[in-house]
Amino acid sequence: MKIYDWHTGPYPARVRIALAEKNLRSRVQFVSVDLRKGEHKTPAFLAKNYSGTLPVLELEDGTLIAECTAITEYLDNLDGEPTLTGRTAREKGLIHMMSKRAELELLDAISVYFHHATPGLGPHVEIYQNAEWGFRQRDKAVRGMHYFNGILSGQPFVAGETFSMADITVIGGLIFADLLKVPVPAECEALRNWYAAMQARPSVRNRIAMSEPVRAPL
């Protein structure tokens, strides 16, 4: 399998964490796609992923799977023992619900802030920017931090009693927030403590070190 990604990207981090949790690193070759050079918007890459986003999983038969949730679902079910996306119908429902909320309320909001209210990936990539919209989304992300703080005040993980894809999505959001110096509010003690524990988790701590990217033609 190949993973097209960028080693420090918050969205690629989600799949890298999933790979580590499932002990699949040895089965994957990383292909580096330089975001700052806009390689993810070239015709060659768009042929692999219409959305022009990272990461993308390419299977040995040429099948291409984009979107972090879809890639994680595939990886989690390879061994027939899903641990990240839920075993029962109830677990699956809760995990997917909370993962989607983490995208909408935190990760994607921070992404919009990055692309609209900061220099983002530079003038060659950021063709249109709306700073007001970006700052509104930054504030939305902070509200999302308060929401997840409330969730984690009452349970150990985002979707319940076990680590899951929903936790990975929140981690991705907080990685992005860290990069942009958008701190978790001091009053969000449960979220801050949870994130400190997650950063010590081997799959999270080693997500960049696992990379041995190649610069191959797309």
Residue with tokens 């530079």: 122
Cα–Cα distance, 140 to 87 (Å, whole number): 32
Q: Residue 26 sits in a domain of what CATH number? A: 3.40.30.10
Q: Is residue 217 part of a domain?
A: no
Helix extents (H) in 51-88: 68-76
Q: If we measure between CA atoms, which residue out of 164, 174, 39, 38 comes closest to residue 105?
A: 174
User: Are 26 and 71 contained in the same domain?
Assistant: yes
User: Are 98 and 184 contained in the same domain?
Assistant: yes
Name the phi and psi angles at 94, rounded to 5: -65, -45
Per-residue pLDDT reduced to its tens digit, 133-147: 999 999 999 999 999
Q: Is residue 218 part of a domain?
A: no
> How many Å from the N-terminal Cα to the C-terminal Cα in the chain?
14
Supply the range of the domain harboring residue 35.
Answer: 2-83+205-211
Per-residue pLDDT reduced to its tens digit, 31-84: 999 999 999 999 999 999 999 999 999 999 999 999 999 999 999 999 999 999
Domain count, the chain: 2
Average pLDDT, rounded, for the chain: 95
User: Are 96 and 182 contained in the same domain?
Assistant: yes
Q: pTM (2 decimals)?
A: 0.94
pLDDT higher than 70, residue 17? yes
User: Are 186 and 144 contained in the same domain?
Assistant: yes
Q: Is residue 31 part of a domain?
A: yes
Secondary structure element (H or E) that encloses residue 3, with its range: strand 2-5
